[in-house]
A and B are shown apart, each in its own frame.
Chain A
Amino acid sequence: MLVRERITSTGIHAVLIAYSMLALFPLVLIVINSLKSKKAIFRDPTGLPVGEAFSWKGYASVLTNSDFPLYFGNSLIVTCVSLFLILLFGAMASHALSEYRFPGDTFLGLYLILGIMVPIRLGTVALLQLVVDLNLANTLTALILVYTAQGLPIAIFIFTEFLKSVSREIKDSARIDGLSEYRIFFEVVVPLVRPVIATVAVFSMIPIWNDLCFPLILSPGEETRTVTLGVQQFIGQYTVNWGAVLASLSVAILPVLIMYVIFSKQLIRGITSGAVKG
């Protein structure tokens, strides 16, 4: 029996490890090759970047010959501001939805679910016209507004589920203490749902950082390019300079990777509890 169990367990690990390799191999391949000289990239793609094969040239040309630092800044601004707006409005709206009864609250809830189900992209055509009419074409503001609208429904959905579990007594006792509704929200409710905020933040950040569609359509200009769009254009221009292309890919992966490593535990806990509740 014990032997059989051990065989089963080895088999399971073999399957899981095999899939892990499949998931990791492409990433590892890109990162090690981005650190190699052009000759080494072609001669031995799977070799490690050691000795003669090692070279910083790819990274050097990305950082000096291109506008990558600028794109990086753009992405950072767009992501941070949208994230801030999503978290602020999302938390406030969910607080309202879960705390107060007002005419039309069910309808509003349904409306937001519709927002999750029907992607904003379908409105691309009209959205572009709207952005042009508002004189926002090729600005980061346009992207921020679109991403906030795109991220809000799901943020509100997750927040509401959690805010419903904040006990009424705490809020009522704060009310008796004479705190204003705003202070109750910021000083009582927000600290209680801090772990959820992290989940929503990561969930909202990733699609924004990685998005190609809206930067391509709303702000393709040189000045307002995001990293994702920048990489896409860069690849087109420099297909000859493989070291640089691979380095640019690694640079684009990096921030997401760091975020993921920091928040991975919280993120997965968020997904599991969110799915359980939904």
Chain B
Amino acid sequence: MFAIYPIVESLRLSLYQAGEGDGVFVGLANYARLVGEPYWAEQFWNAFKNNVLLFAMHMLIQNPIALALAALLSIPTLKGAATYRTIFFLPTLLSVVVVGFIWQLILSPLWGVTPAFMNWLGVGSFFKPWLGLESTALITVTLISIWQYVGIPLMLFYAALLNVPEETIEAARIDGLNGWWIFWKVKLPLILPTLGLVGILTYIGNFTASFDLIYSIQGGLAGPNFSTDVMGTFLFRTFFGFQAQLGDVHMGATVASALFFIILIGVSLYLFGVQRRLQRYDH
């Protein structure tokens, strides 16, 4: 009950506006403001666009890296797999506050670890304060997030790959397929359900977990100039207010509810579309 009540209550609040007592019922007017009024719409679409970018980058960078590392780890003859596994999962366990700050320090021009390293590689002139530039801040934050969270899809892929029956692999080997083709033609189709699961987890995490990292690196204003603003930080600002703007409970609830519907759409698509098709494939 403690979990569902707040969401239902948020949905209810989003239909009201500040007024006497419990507020005035305004129907869907808040949603109309959110996408219609320039002040709100600009922030909303900016945050939404950044979330989409964030999701795309995680799908295109994080999940392939995770799959590749998991594929290497699951080679039966590999020595030291347990040690690698432990190391790869380590960053996932850390608090985003810690991770965010560690990378801020490392990328800081003040401390000079990164410039020194790049000089050593002979590419020192390419160094820029990436977190502070509007054009590169979002991608830098994304890469930090990937560094931290790659362990989760990695483990899921790894578990699925270990679960591929030995006989199937053996049969493919007898048919003359080498390791590379066995992976693409035999193992990958078999772990498709896991790919689907990782996809939906990435989708949910992208709308919720991204708040922590961005808030701890760039603050509630998601600077520079809102270039790293996501739904989470937008919600936080709307609800609690910042600088000159006062917090607004009803608009906050509206943003939260919009986010709820966005996630619900994704989850339903996954449950009714992707998963059903995958299950049919399974049997």
In the complex, whether A46 has a CB less than 8 A from a CB of chain B is yes
Nearest CB of chain A from residue B159's CB, rounded to whole Å? 4
In the complex, whether A210 has a CB less than 8 A from a CB of chain B is yes
**Stretch from A51-59, A120-128, A161-169, A177-185 contacting the other chain:** A120-128
Q: Which residues of A contact B249 (CB under 8 A)?
A: 125, 129
The number of chain B residues with a CB under 8 A from chain A is 72
In the complex, whether B72 has a CB less than 8 A from a CB of chain A is yes
Q: Mark B235-277, 1 if CB is under 8 A from A, else 0.
A: 1000110000000010011001101100110010000000000
Q: Which residues of B contact A252 (CB under 8 A)?
A: 95, 97-98
* A15 pairs with B72, CB closer than 8 A: yes
* B90 pairs with A268, CB closer than 8 A: no
In the complex, whether B5 has a CB less than 8 A from a CB of chain A is yes
Closest residue on chain A to residue B250 by CB atoms: A125
Binding site for A on B (CB under 8 A): 2-10, 13, 69, 72-73, 75, 77-78, 80, 82, 84-91, 93-99, 101-103, 105-106, 111-113, 116, 147, 155-156, 158-160, 162-163, 194, 197, 204, 208, 211-212, 215-216, 232, 235, 239-240, 249, 252-253, 256-257, 259-260, 263-264, 267
Q: Which residues of B contact A46 (CB under 8 A)?
A: 113, 116
* A16 pairs with B69, CB closer than 8 A: yes
Q: Which residues of B contact A145 (CB under 8 A)?
A: 2
Partner of A123 from the list B6, B105, B113, B197 (CB cut-off 8 Å) is: B6
Provide the bound-state CA to CA distance between A111 and B69, in Å. Answer: 35
Q: Mark A140-162, 1 if CB is under 8 A from B, else 0.
A: 00000110111011000000000
Q: Which residues of B contact A206 (CB under 8 A)?
A: 93
Check A249/B253 contact, CB under 8 A, given A272-B158, A275-B159: no
**Which 4 A-B pairs rank lowest in CB-CB distance, beginning with the nearest?**
A123-B6, A126-B9, A149-B2, A210-B95
Nearest CB of chain B from residue A150's CB, rounded to whole Å? 7
Check A129/B9 contact, CB under 8 A, given A212-B96, A249-B102, A272-B162: yes
Nearest CB of chain A from residue B253's CB, rounded to whole Å? 5
Closest residue on chain B to residue A260 by CB atoms: B93
* B2 pairs with A146, CB closer than 8 A: yes
Partner of B113 from the list A29, A129, A210, A217 (CB cut-off 8 Å) is: A29
